[in-house]
């Protein structure tokens, strides 16, 4: 989840070009940990044959609780997902079954996109998971970025290595590359359309690409609406809600 | 001369009975042996053809490249139209769409929570179309061990070992967990209506058969299929014909670089099947060649022995004024008649026997029991195959060998010295 949230949350910290590496990462972590978020988004999956658009509404509290309801297309409408801590369940109205997604299923794609369930599950702060190295600065599209390389310091991560290009003003990773332990590039993500909402900068579009799918054209994630720090009742994150 | 020879054959049983019996038995054995070899080998191919490759099969070029991964996002679209087109262009084959997919099979308890779960390899096969021959191809009348055949798109037949492993009972609703052709996560409920035993080792441990419409619902593959399999109407694999239509089809679809263009492969193009087919062809050729050679040597020897035994008779006939050529020709005519009668009788014995085993089969399951845990995928019941060549193959040993033996033995006639003839006869 962090991988996803990470990309659309924004820092309210500006012009801190003299920040230490720890401060940069910590600031990003703090941005990710908004009290709560309610958002409506659409995912455009560019397949090898055609593109599909999937709309959903999400409720997120901290890093542990998340609930997603898919709104369209008709086949996916009514499908729901619940994440509580490190557990993930999905409900499909077609089968009226609640299935816990675990093991190898976590590596499967979410709705055919370039994101896996594992991507949604990784929530721990970057500082806790990675040792970081500042590789330098670079100007991209006229904007100054830090290049930060992260190497896993805990075992079992989906992406043991990652490299992020962090906008010095927004403190957002406008580009990121995710690697396997061997150094093989697994996924990339970029973001654009950054604007201010409730005092935070956030991007309105992300592009994820699974680099292992040779012919993948990537997945766009477009945030239509987002609302921070709203009250979300605890009952929203119960398994009973999956069938409602 | 014909009348004279026929009278000789009928009146002198020692001259005709044993040779006819020997020729008949050898011809019957040759026919059965050929039918058994071809049938066993075709049976081995048939299992592969039904489960995987058809005699020929059509898929997209991109699917073909990654077929080991069962990439249904690269599946054929507009399958109904393709099937009509294939039926018109290649009327010697019948065509059937198939979806191959894998995932997990989940059995819920009374609260809907997972009770047991295991990996499943599933095939969506066109069982329910009015003219479908898939029931016959899969031999489900013999292979269903409990329950009944699929009757609705949501019905599923499960391998008996998989059913045992997951504790499935008839009527259970099981949830397939996998991915759609868009690679999206999907769950779909099937009803277990029967269990089957393919007798193919590991396949029974994880296989599920469903109707293609059920698979299409589950995988969001409307009017799509992983592959379209083609079979000859008599279900006999003809390598030359398959290669010919493969080449013809692919040349028609080679004028584009579209990765979704249709592409055809023959059974021999499936995994290592080409080597196997060649090996089997050569094996059949060599085994049959050895058998025919032995049969011919036996019949040839019989001809020689017969000629030697009649040394005195030939001497008398020569002494009475028959020319050597007349005697020689009469012996050959006699062997032609004996060989023909023996071949006809042998064919009348061999063909029904071969046909019987073609229908009933020979069950080797006890001998193969230990192989069920291995990765060998092969039927344990062998069937013979009645092929057109069985109607005439018996004439090779039956007539040719007998005549050839007689011709060799008859050379002795020309070595007889007329001056010595009466001395020999007196002795």
Residue partners of A21: CB distance under 8 A and separation at least 6: A132, A133, A134, A148
Which chain A residue has its CA at the smallest distance from B258's CA? A49
A99/B220 CB distance under 8 A = no
From B76's Cα to the closest Cα of chain A, the distance in A is 11
**Is A231 within a domain?**
no
Q: Residue A220 maps to which CATH number?
A: 2.50.20.10
From B257's Cα to the closest Cα of chain A, the distance in A is 15
Residue partners of B273: CB distance under 8 A and separation at least 6: B45, B48, B53, B267
Residue B375: per-residue pLDDT: 40
From A39's Cα to the closest Cα of chain B, the distance in A is 21
Pairing of strands A143-152, A219-228: unpaired
Residues 153-192 in B contacting A (C-alpha not used; CB under 8 Å): 175, 177, 179-180, 182-189
For chain B, which residues make up each domain, given as ranges?
2-45+276-426, 56-236
- Residues of chain A neighbouring B184 (CB-CB closer than 8 A): 76, 109-112
For residue B409, what pLDDT band results from cuts at 50, 70 and 90? confident
- Residues of chain A neighbouring B258 (CB-CB closer than 8 A): none
Using CB atoms, pick whichever of A95, A99, A109 lies closest to residue B184.
A109
**Is A233 within a domain?**
no
Residue A145: per-residue pLDDT: 92
ipTM over 0.90: no
pLDDT at B344 over 90: yes
Average pLDDT of every residue of chain B: 85
Max mean pLDDT among A163-167, B252-256, B415-419 falls in A163-167
Tell me the average confidence (pLDDT) per consecutive run of 10 residues in chain A, 244 residues long. Answer: 46 53 80 80 87 92 86 91 86 88 75 79 76 93 92 88 91 91 93 84 88 82 90 92 88
Provide the domain limits for residue A115. 2-224
A91-98 contacts, C-beta under 8 A, 24 or more apart: A91/A242, A91/A243, A92/B186, A92/B187, A94/B187, A94/B188, A94/B189, A95/B175, A95/B187, A95/B188, A95/B189, A96/A243, A96/B112, A97/B106, A97/B108, A97/B112, A97/B175, A97/B187, A97/B189, A98/A239, A98/A242, A98/A243, A98/B112, A98/B113
pTM (predicted TM-score): 0.72
How many domains are contained in chain A?
Answer: 1
Using CB atoms, pick whichever of A47, A49, A99 lies closest to residue B187.
A99
pLDDT digits (tens, 9 = 90+) for B242-253: 999 999 999 988
């Amino acid at each position: 989840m962090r991988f996803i949230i990470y990309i659309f949350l924004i820092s309210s910290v500006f012009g801190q070009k003299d920040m230490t590496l720890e401060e940069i990462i910590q600031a990003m972590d703090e941005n990710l940990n908004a009290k709560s978020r309610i958002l409506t988004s659409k995912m455009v999956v560019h397949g090898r044959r055609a593109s599909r658009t999937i709309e959903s509404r999400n409720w997120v509290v901290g890093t542990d609780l998340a609930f997603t309801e898919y709104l369209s297309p008709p086949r996916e409408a009514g499908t729901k997902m619940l994440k509580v801590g490190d557990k993930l369940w999905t409900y499909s109205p077609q089968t009226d079954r609640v299935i816990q997604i675990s093991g190898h299923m976590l590596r499967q794609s979410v709705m055919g996109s370039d994101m896996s369930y594992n991507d949604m599950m990784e929530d721990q702060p970057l500082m806790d998971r990675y040792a970081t190295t500042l590789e330098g600065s670079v100007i991209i599209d006229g904007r100054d970025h830090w290049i930060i390389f992260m190497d896993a310091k805990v075992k079992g991560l989906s992406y043991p290595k990652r490299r992020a290009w962090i906008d010095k003003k927004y403190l957002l990773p406008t580009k990121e590359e995710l690697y396997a332990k061997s150094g093989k590039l697994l996924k990339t993500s970029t973001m654009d359309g950054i604007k201010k909402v409730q005092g935070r900068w956030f991007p309105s579009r992300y592009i994820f690409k699974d680099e292992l799918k040779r012919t993948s054209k990537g997945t766009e994630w477009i945030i239509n609406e987002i609302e921070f720090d709203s009250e979300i009742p605890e009952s929203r994150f119960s398994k009973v809600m999956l069938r409602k | 001369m014909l009348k004279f020879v026929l009278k000789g054959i009928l009146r002198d049983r020692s001259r005709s009975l044993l040779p006819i019996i020997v020729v008949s038995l050898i011809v019957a054995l040759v026919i059965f042996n050929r039918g058994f070899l071809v049938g066993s080998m075709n049976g081995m191919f048939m299992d592969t053809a039904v489960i995987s490759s058809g005699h020929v099969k059509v898929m997209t070029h991109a699917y073909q490249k990654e077929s080991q991964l069962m990439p249904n996002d690269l599946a054929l679209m507009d399958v109904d139209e393709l099937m009509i087109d294939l039926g018109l262009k290649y009327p010697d084959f019948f065509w059937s769409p198939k979806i191959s997919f894998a995932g997990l099979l989940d059995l819920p308890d009374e609260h809907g929570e997972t009770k047991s779960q295991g990996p499943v390899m599933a095939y969506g096969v066109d069982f329910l179309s009015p003219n479908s021959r898939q029931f016959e191809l899969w031999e489900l009348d013999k292979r269903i061990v409990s329950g009944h055949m699929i009757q609705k798109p949501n019905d599923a037949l499960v391998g008996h070992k998989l059913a045992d492993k997951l504790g499935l009972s008839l009527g259970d609703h099981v949830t397939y967990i996998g991915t759609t052709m868009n690679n999206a996560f999907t769950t779909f409920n099937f009803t277990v209506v029967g269990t089957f035993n393919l007798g193919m080792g590991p396949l029974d441990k994880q296989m599920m058969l469903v109707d293609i419409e059920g698979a299409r619902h589950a995988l969001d593959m409307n009017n799509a299929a992983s592959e379209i399999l083609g079979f000859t109407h008599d279900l006999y694999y003809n390598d030359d014909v398959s290669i010919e239509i493969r080449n013809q089809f692919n040349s028609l679809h080679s004028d584009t670089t579209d990765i979704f263009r249709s592409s055809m492969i023959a059974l021999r193009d499936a995994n290592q099947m080409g080597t196997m087919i060649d090996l089997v062809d050569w094996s059949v050729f060599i085994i049959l060649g050895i058998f025919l050679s032995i049969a011919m040597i036996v019949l040839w020897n019989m001809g020689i022995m017969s000629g030697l035994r009649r040394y005195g008779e030939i001497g008398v006939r020569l002494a009475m004024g028959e020319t050597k050529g007349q005697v020689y020709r009469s012996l050959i005519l006699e062997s032609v008649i004996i060989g023909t009668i023996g071949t006809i009788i042998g064919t009348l014995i061999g063909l029904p026997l071969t046909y019987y085993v073609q229908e009933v089969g020979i069950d080797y399951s006890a001998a193969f029991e230990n192989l069920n845990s291995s990765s060998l995928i092969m039927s344990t019941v062998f069937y013979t195959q009645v092929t057109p060549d069985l109607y005439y193959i018996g004439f090779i040993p039956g007539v040719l060998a007998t005549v050839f033996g007689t011709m060799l033995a008859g050379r002795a006639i020309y070595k007889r010295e007329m001056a010595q003839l009466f001395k020999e006869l007196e002795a």
